[in-house]
A and B are shown apart, each in its own frame.
Chain A
Amino acid sequence: MNRLDRLFQQKQKDILNIYFTAGYPNLEDTEPIILQLEKSGADLIEIGMPYSDPLADGPTIQESGQVALKNGMTLDILFRQISDVRKKSDIPLVLMGYFNQVMQYGEARFFDKCAEVGIDGLILPDLPMDVYEQDYQRMISDPDNNRDLRISFLITPQTSEERIRKTDELSTGFVYMVSRAAITGAKSDIEQQQIDYFNRVNDMKLQSPRLIGFGISSHDTFSTACQYANGAIIGSAFIKALAKGEIKDTVDEFVNMILGNVPTN
């Protein structure tokens, strides 16, 4: 069973999705970060494929990508790392990246490799829904080729109701609710305007689980976001924390801070 499906069956509230850039701070940190995130209580992990020109990302994720690329991260290395970590972990893993990376790897080859190493879902923010429907929808979930991947599309406060419905229909993982008109890592309090948007989407009774991302960075913002959706996604704040010290303790402290727990380590 796809691990994302399993997660959303088992848990409908307070889902914690943590994003990190593969290859940051060091090339081989992918495995220790994933294992500690799972141990500390993350429900879902989004692995960023570092990219030279990440249009939707703010300075924190941009810089982590530059460091990762300088460290020598490539898709082949990342797939090898994920394949290794899969022997030790059963947490749902989602790959996030820009569509050019997928194109250059070869779309079919990329989807095959994801399925082979144990990736559960994809987020490709610059892949348009109409192109996806026409060229890739049948490819990513194709039992004949042992592919059972999920995909998540983004909505923003400016997305029309009709388009939100379309996003809900095409997203097989979750609907990624961008909390505000901003790139990643923007300011970190949740305002009334955003709550209105969360309520508006809530009232639409979408079929897909919804996770809120962009600007979630603390226990307070995480808890608030979880009141209006199935969970939330944290990226830039986690990347910033990773810069501070030794992986195990840093990750544990961060996850506990977000969940409002006393640290376990």
Chain B
Amino acid sequence: MTYAINTKGYYGEFGGAFIPEMLYPNVEYLRNNYLDIINEEGFQKEFRSLLKDYVGRPSPLYFAKRLSAQYKTNIFLKREDLNHTGAHKINNTIGQILLAQRIGKKRIIAETGAGQHGVATATVCALMGIECIVYMGEIDIKRQAPNVARMRMLGAKVVPAKSGSKTLKDATNEAIRDWINHPEETHYIIGSVVGPHPYPDMVAIFQSVISEEMQWQLKEQIGSPNPDMIIACVGGGSNAAGAYFHYLDNTDVRLVAVEAAGLGVDTGESAATSVLGTKGIIHGSRTLLMQTPDGQIVEPYSISAGLDYPGIGPMHAHLIDSGRAEAVSITDKEALDAAFHLTRIEGIIPALETAHAFAALDKIKFSEKDNIVINLSGRGDKDLETYIKYLDQQ
């Protein structure tokens, strides 16, 4: 059995392209050409060179000594927080901006939740001198103000999404509507492994540099390319997809997907899709999503804007549904506590999204011999206001 995507754009029964006809020509063009473009030698050369000299890759794989001692195991941190712009998101935007240039698009649109993907998109657009419009939920604009400021300084236009829950789901809807209205000149840089095929695969391929590096870094440090377990947080699931990618079919490696439980999975204020979701269609993809029995998509909740999404990417739906990956749900409070814990024990302030992955250490079983990689997907600068407020309440 393979967990990779099939030729029709499905992971098992999940994936596909459930899109209105207005989007069909662009999506079909990408579907027919994305692999050829990405695999072309000149593309790879430019992509690799930018990842190295502009993003600062490879990102270190750091053995977290004190954290390991405390949990009586071996914990390695894949330091995506050290990338330019502060998260893994830029791996994908570098890839997609090069692709957009090759297919002759002059205008870039993107959606963003926490603002990390918006910043990463605005950054590559500034780098290439291309117009950039970022859709962001009105609520997220308020709770991620530093990233909004960064996008504006980078020259992007930040457009508030005012429909529905005014968060990531609605920002994505608005970006898709923009693409319908401007099909000829625009490329839509989706920030996660969601959306119609080929987006989930395309984003996963660009993010797979994470697991590619992990293989040789682990070989150097522990003598084997394989960890026993990889832990990553999952909203749409792009950092997890990148961290799992080269290990998908290696079932000796446990994959742990950490979702946001919000106030708790039973409270009605949650974003734990694998627990609360059922099979359906969101943003053009058949996957797991939170919805009513009548198929209306439910407004999710999480303190973390990047995990506040009512679906998960089709790759993750398949991994979880088939039992290949284990899902863990972490509440707002558990994530906040984990963020402070990591900061005080290793001197690293993680993004609130990433903090969920660290909280999972208290929920899963492992042995003393295990080598565990946690994908440290982003840094916490953008969340300082939330962190300090929490600190003052203690």
Where the two chains meet, the residues of A that have a C-beta atom closer than 8 Å to any C-beta of B are 51-53, 55-56, 58-59, 62, 66, 69, 74-75, 98-105, 125-128, 131, 153-156, 158-160, 163, 178, 181-183, 186
Contacts and interface: CB of A to CB of B under 8 A. Distances in A.
22 contacts: A53-B173, A53-B297, A55-B180, A55-B284, A66-B163, A99-B281, A100-B295, A103-B279, A103-B280, A104-B280, A104-B293, A125-B21, A126-B18, A126-B19, A126-B20, A153-B21, A154-B22, A156-B25, A158-B22, A158-B24, A178-B21, A181-B182
A127 B18 contact: yes
Contacts of B280: 100, 103-104
Contacts of A66: 163-164
A55 B183 contact: no
Contacts of A53: 164, 169, 173, 282, 297
Most buried by A among B18, B19, B280, B284: B18
- By size class, the interface of chain B is 20 to 34
A14 B295 CA distance: 36
Contacts of A52: 164, 296-297
B276 to A, nearest CB: 14
A155 B22 CA distance: 8
A249 to B, nearest CB: 31
Given A55-B19, A158-B25, 20 more contacts: A52-B164, A52-B297, A56-B20, A69-B296, A98-B295, A101-B295, A103-B280, A104-B294, A126-B284, A127-B18, A128-B16, A128-B17, A154-B20, A154-B22, A158-B183, A158-B184, A178-B22, A182-B180, A183-B177, A186-B181
Contacts, number: 104
Contacts of A55: 19-20, 173, 176-177, 180, 283-284
Contact of B281 (A62, A69, A74, A103): A103
A52 B310 CA distance: 12
Given A75-B294, A104-B293, A159-B24, A181 B282 contact: no
A154 B283 CA distance: 18
A183 B280 CA distance: 23
A104 B293 CA distance: 6
Query: Mostly helix, strand, loop or mixed at chain A's interface?
Result: loop
Contacts of B18: 99, 126-128, 131
Contact of A74 (B19, B164, B181, B294): B294
Contacts of B291: 100, 104
B113 to A, nearest CB: 16
A126 B281 contact: yes
Interface string B274-309: 000011111110000001011111000000000000
Contacts of B176: 55
Most buried by B among A55, A104, A105, A125: A55
Contacts of A156: 21-22, 24-25
Contacts of B294: 74-75, 101, 104-105
Nearest to A56: B20
Most buried by B among A58, A104, A178: A104
Contacts of A62: 163
A106 to B, nearest CB: 10
Contact of B282 (A100, A125, A182): A100
Contacts of B282: 53, 100
Given A51-B296, A103-B281, A181 B184 contact: yes
Nearest to A167: B21
Given A51-B296, A103-B295, A181 B164 contact: no
